[in-house]
């Protein structure tokens, strides 16, 4: 994994914040809605956003490892260290897309 450009870093950082918010939003919506199909779709979208978070974090990790140990120490400040694994965060639901990696 190569390093990131400054724009990419900014985009990924903003994307992480965005996705985090979206997960919360769609989770809340899926619980609030009354229609089963709506609920399913909203939950699915929430899971997609979780997975996007993971994808973006992966790039952060890759970039930090590319810059060496110093960067590795700063990895602790990334949102990846939230204490839960990808699988836990997705509630056991694998992402429906993004499987081509």
Partner 1 sequence: MSGPDPGFDDRNILADALFTQKGVTKYYDDSVLESATPEVRRDLTRIHAEEREAAHQLWKEMNRHGWYNTQPADASKLSQLRNTATQVYQGGIRAVDRSNQGDYSSSWSGQHGQGQTESKNFGGGAGGMGGGWQGQGPGGLYGGSQGYQGGGMGAQGPTGGPSGMGGGYGTGYGPGSGGGYGAGYGPGSGGGYGPSTGGWGYSGSPTGGGFPSGGSRGSAGGYGSSWSDRGQGGYEAGQYGQQRGGPSFGGPTGYGAGPVGYGSTGGYGAQGRESPYGGSSYSGGYGGGPSGPSYSGGGYGSPSGPSYSGGGYGPSGRGSRRGRSAWQPGGGYGGGMGGGGGRSWASEPPRYYGPSEENW
End-to-end CA distance of the chain: 14
List Cβ neighbours of 30 (8 Å cut-off, separation of 6 or more).
38, 39, 40, 42, 43, 46
Burial class (CB in 10 A: 0-12, 13-18, 19+), 49: buried
Residue 61 binds partner 1, judged by CB under 8 A: no
Tell the smallest beta-carbon distance from residue 73 to partner 1 (Å): 23
Q: Which residue among 16, 20, 24, 35 contacts partner 1 (CB under 8 A)?
A: 35
Nearer to partner 1, 18 or 75 (CB): 18
Q: Which stretch binds partner 1 (CB under 8 A): 7-15, 70-78, 84-92?
A: 7-15
Q: How far is the CB of 60 from partner 1 (least distance, A)?
A: 11
């Amino acid at each position: 994994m190569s390093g990131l450009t400054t724009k990419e870093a900014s985009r990924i950082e903003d994307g992480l914040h965005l996705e985090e918010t979206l997960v919360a939003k769609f989770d809340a919506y899926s619980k609030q809605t009354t229609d089963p199909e709506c609920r399913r779709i909203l939950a699915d979208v929430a899971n997609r956003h979780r997975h996007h978070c993971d994808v973006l974090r992966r790039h952060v990790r890759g970039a930090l490892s590319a810059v060496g140990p110093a960067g590795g120490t700063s990895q602790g400040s990334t949102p990846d260290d939230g204490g839960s694994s990808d699988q836990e965060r997705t509630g056991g639901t694998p992402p429906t897309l993004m499987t081509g990696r």
